[in-house]
Amino acid sequence: MTDLLHIIIEFFKTGLFAVGGGLATIPFLTEMAEKYGWFTIEQLSTMIAVSESTPGPIGINMSTYVGFTIHGVLGAILATLSLVAPSIIVISIVANYFQKFKDNKLVKKVFAGIKPAVVAFIVAAVLSLFTKTLLHLDVEATSVLEYFNFKTILILIALLLLNKKFPKVHPILYIVIAAVCGVVFKL
C-alpha cells in the first residue's frame, strides 16, 4: 500500500475517532509516528507548536502539516480532506436526526459517556507533550536535576504568570514571546 493510501486511511480514522477537537488528534498522530516512522515525536511537538500558532483549527492545521511532511502538497491535501471527511459525513447524518432525538435520554447518556473519553485523550496528549517538553528523559543523568529542562520550565512559569496577570492579552503575543525566548535561550 502506498504512503498516499496510508495517509488517507489513517487521517480518515483520525477524523472519525478524534472526538473533541484538534488536541484529540495528537494520540493518533503519535501512533502514526510510531507505526510508520513518518516523523519523530520531536517533530510532532514542533508540528503542534506551528499548528497552534497558525490561524485555523489545530486538527486541520496538524493534518495539513503532517501530510506535507510525509508527502508534500499532495500529502497535505489528502490528509486534510481525509481528516474532515468523516465530520462532514457524520454531521450530515446527525443533523438530520438530532433535532428529533436531542431530548432522548439514551442520546444524552451517549454524549455524557463520550465526554470522559475526550478528556482522557486530551490529558494523555498534554502529559506526553509535558514530559517531552519539560523533561530530558532520554539522557543518562548523574543527578535527578539533569532530567529537568529548566529553561523551558521557567518560560512556561513566566508565561502562565503573565497570562494570569493579563488574561485579556491575545494568545498570539504569548506565542511570539515564547518563540523569542526559544531563540534567545537556544532551546
* CB count in 10 Å sphere of residue 178: 17
In a domain, 92, yes or no: yes
Which one of 12-26, 64-78, 87-101, 171-185 scores highest in mean pLDDT?
A: 64-78
In a domain, 140, yes or no: no
What pLDDT shows up at residue 132? Answer: 83
Question: Which residue, among 43, 162, 54, has the nearest Cα to 177 in the 3D structure?
Answer: 162
Q: Indicate the number of domains in the chain.
A: 1
- Mean pLDDT of all residues belonging to the chain: 86
In a domain, 176, yes or no: no
In a domain, 172, yes or no: no
The gap from C-alpha 81 to its chain's centroid, in whole angstroms, comes to 17
pTM for this model (two decimals)? 0.60
Read off the DSSP letter of residue 56.
S
What pLDDT shows up at residue 1? Answer: 58
Residues of the chain with pLDDT > 90, as a percent, come to 27
In a domain, 182, yes or no: no
Please say if the pLDDT value at position 153 is more than 90. yes
What pLDDT shows up at residue 79? Answer: 94
In a domain, 146, yes or no: no
pLDDT tens-digit map of 94-145: 777 777 777 888 888 988 898 898 888 888 888 888 888 888 887 888 888 8
- What is the residue type of 40? T
Enclosing domain of residue 31: 3-111
> Which residues lie across from 145 on neighbouring strands?
none
In a domain, 137, yes or no: no
| 58 contacts 21 by C-beta, under 8 angstroms | yes
In a domain, 126, yes or no: no
Cα separation values, 76 from 81, 98, 149, Å:
9, 32, 33
